[in-house]
Amino acid sequence: MTRQGEAASGSARRPLAATASALFLLLASLFALPNTATAAGVASYKKAFAQLAAFAPDPSRVAAVHGLSLKRDLATFEFVDGQMALFRPVEGRIWGAVFTGRGTFSFRPPTEIERDQLERFYKTDSLVTTFDALVLLFADTTLVELASRAKFVPGTVAKKAIPVMRKTLDTFLDQKSMDINYSVGKTCLEGASNELFLAYIVEAHAGNAVIFEIDPFQTEQVQLYRVKPMPFQKRFENREVICQFPLEADRERGTSPDRDFVDTYEDEHYQIQSRFDGGLRLAGETVVRFRSLEDGQNWLALVLDPNLDVDAVQWESGEPADCFKGPDASLLWVRNDHPLARGEERTLRNRYHGVVVQRQDDWVRFDPGASWYPRVISGRRSTYDLEYEYPESYTLVSVGEPAAPERKGNSVRSTWKVATPIAECSFMIGIYKEHKIQVETIPPITILMSESAHRQVRESAGEELLEQGLAPGKSMEKQVGADVANSFAFFQTLYGPTRLQRFYVAENPFERSFLGVAYPGLIHLDWSTFYSTVSEGSDEMLRAHEVAHQWWGSLGVVPATYHDRWLSEAFAEYSALRYLQDASKDNKRFLDALQRSREEILKNRKFLLGGGQEAGPISLGPRTSTSTTRGDYRIIVYEKGAWVLHMLHNLFLDLDTMKDGGFADVMREFYTSFADKDATTADFQRVVEKRAGRDMSWFFHEWVYGTGIPHYRFAWHAVPEAGGKYKASCRVDQENVPEDFQMFVPLHIDFGAGKFASVRVFVKGPHSEFDLPLLPMEPKQIVFNDLESVLCEVEAVGW
């Protein structure tokens, strides 16, 4: 702390006689503190953690509170009647307060999407709840506001305050691993004055808790959480976000964030050495070059797997750095040797060891989600120099351009270089059979299959798998290779060339539910797709989906924020569908796959409407999956998202010639304009509108930002007209969508004897009636929504 801070702490340690006026003096001096620019921050993580973990109400600062209100963005706290105690000061600073008594919390999100989200969880679009206990944590002006409106004097702290304090602490720190929520940790360690404000609200009667937070390190600072014990997560992650949006000042600016986090550092380059011993234990050394994006930063956090222990951290001079990572913690905190100025560049050398790769029989598993090297929070795109050393019985592949591997005794040393910045870095090691594919038009492909491990599985569990209908496939490396090479070539024609020089596909027996993960030039595919190819196309699609991420998501176009995640997953899924259509040379498997996904999307809604929770829109990204809507990220962002692209494709289709009509150009232009850049949904909409030559906001509003899926009831009848022609009249009732919902729907008119025609009709509102253009002969059948063009339910009814 600064000298002013120390002076303040001196006055704060005065015995109980501290009067309100002394407190005001303290407050005045606290807020006269210079910002983080010159503050030295806390001297030691351990000490700071111990102080935070010991946050407690201060019996020398207790106030009776009546009718006090606090407003933070769109949240209002009314402290009707009760007692408020400030926290005991830490190094002269008061970080929070605890209230017991009677109060109300009200909150109304600013947008329809977020109000709908509140509706899904709480059946109301503006939350008003009474509370009987509440804990505040703040780095903003709350203390000044409280002290000017309540008189804090020595008193007895209500008993109820203590357990609520404990529960609050549990939501941002973990005593055992000494891990701490990044935003709270960074603020407290720096001793920063920023917008951080956290309220842990215990609802009266039900006893449930909600958290309202303003997190200055996220671009959508305003957040509402419900506290929910969730398995397999750290205690302080036992909460799920319900609403999230930018602060008022940012909302008024009218631009949506183009990233999720507010970075205070930029990681420029990583030099990573990873050595695997005979037991595949990792000993690593990473040199990271980073730049400070703010003035006066004292603390840096790096993400590093809980299974990795840090041995040493040094500055470029060789001087040891003051750092801390708790046992099983996921953050490594480093104290800068002096407050870093904006633009200042530093280099840190980290040594660490532990287990991120496991071997069982001949299976080698690597969790691609593991933070296998220390990475500056919240790293974006960096260049890499990678070096691996491993026993010669293994094969290792990595992202980057490889140099010829060298032998070193019984080990192999290989180096890889990533010269153009990438967002995610990975490798894979295993006992592999290699299958190389050389085709002129695409980069060389290497398929790595765990052949000996498959043999072991066939011997030990082959019969069991057979009973489940899984017969081992033949030459699986070739089956996988064919889909990878064919889809690669197909996407290259569809979207344009990638800058990849080579492409690796490595088998990985995943433990978690995902089946494939993509990195630039390297994809991990689950063992199951190397065991057999199931007939309905899901294996072809899985392989092609991960290949497509070389255009959408991993390399090429990268989604800017979580709202834009569909630009990666839906685009990959849609590409996979197109590959299925192209590979099978007929529309049936494509239409069947679309139909299956439509049924899944509709079933999801129906099941949920029958008692559960309705699915959110595509633009909520990963937030569509919650503890009550677990599979929704896949169903909404992947599957409904792919449908959205399919619908756009069909809107561009020329029904007379069945030619593309411009959608292929949309995808190519979007890819070439945003390759190696971050893209938002709005960027994509602009390309669509440019090619369509018209405003398409209605379409994005309905399908990407909205949740409606229309149910159409369709009736038609035809009467003869002069000259042998026929007049066909149609009637459409539209349900399950907002009143103004509109869509273009193709009709297939079948005249029999192989003669047919197609028209596209515009359907808007609950009820529409229209006549088709005069038909040359009598229609035998009119099919509404031909070719699965619109994601909807159609019910044919009599006229």
Q: Which of 190/569 has CB closer to Zn ion?
A: 569
Position of tokens 């890889």?
416
Residue type (1 letter), 613 = Q
Q: DSSP code of 624?
A: G
**Residue among 476, 520, 465, 483 at smallest CA distance from 675:** 520
3-state helix, strand, coil in the chain (%, to 5): 30, 35, 35
Question: Residue 543 in contact with residue 529, Cβ under 8 Å?
Answer: yes
Q: Least distance in Å: CB of 549 to Zn ion?
A: 6
- Residues 452-471 close enough to bind Zn ion by CB under 5 A: none
Q: Which of 429/572 has CB closer to Zn ion?
A: 572
Q: How many residues bind Zn ion (CB under 5 A)?
A: 2
Q: Which residue is nearest to Zn ion (CB)?
A: 572
Write the burial class of residue 710 (CB in 10 Å: 0-12 exposed, 13-18 middle, 19+ buried): buried
**Residue among 3, 33, 36, 2 at smallest CA distance from 296:** 36
**Residue among 9, 29, 23, 102 at smallest CA distance from 60:** 23
Q: Which of 280/547 has CB closer to Zn ion?
A: 547
Q: Which of 632/702 has CB closer to Zn ion?
A: 632
Q: Which of 569/786 has CB closer to Zn ion?
A: 569
Q: Least distance in Å: CB of 589 to Zn ion?
A: 20
Binding characters for Zn ion, 701-730, by CB under 5 A (x = yes): ------------------------------
First to last CA, the chain: 81
Q: DSSP code of 639?
A: I
Position of tokens 């369509």?
692
**Residue among 213, 220, 218 at smallest CA distance from 196:** 213
- Residues 570-629 close enough to bind Zn ion by CB under 5 A: 572
- Residues 514-573 close enough to bind Zn ion by CB under 5 A: 569, 572
Question: Residue 556 in contact with residue 498, Cβ under 8 Å?
Answer: yes
Q: Which of 173/576 has CB closer to Zn ion?
A: 576
Tokens linked to 104: 């109300």
Q: Least distance in Å: CB of 249 to Zn ion?
A: 35
- Nearest-angstrom CA–CA distance, 241 and 224: 6
Phi, psi of 519 (to 5 degrees): -130, 165
Q: Least distance in Å: CB of 618 to Zn ion?
A: 15
Q: Least distance in Å: CB of 118 to Zn ion?
A: 29
Q: Which of 239/565 has CB closer to Zn ion?
A: 565
Q: Least distance in Å: CB of 289 to Zn ion?
A: 30
- Nearest-angstrom CA–CA distance, 14 and 449: 70
Q: Which of 75/642 has CB closer to Zn ion?
A: 642
Q: Least distance in Å: CB of 527 to Zn ion?
A: 18
Q: Least distance in Å: CB of 642 to Zn ion?
A: 11
Q: Which of 547/572 has CB closer to Zn ion?
A: 572
- Nearest-angstrom CA–CA distance, 421 and 430: 26
CA geometry: angle at 283 spanning 277 and 289, to 5°? 145
Q: DSSP code of 158?
A: P
**Residue among 186, 379, 187, 183 at smallest CA distance from 290:** 379
Q: Least distance in Å: CB of 545 to Zn ion?
A: 6
Phi, psi of 54 (to 5 degrees): -100, 10
Q: Least distance in Å: CB of 522 to Zn ion?
A: 14
Residues of the shown chain interacting with Zn ion in the complex, contacts defined by CB under 5 A: 569, 572
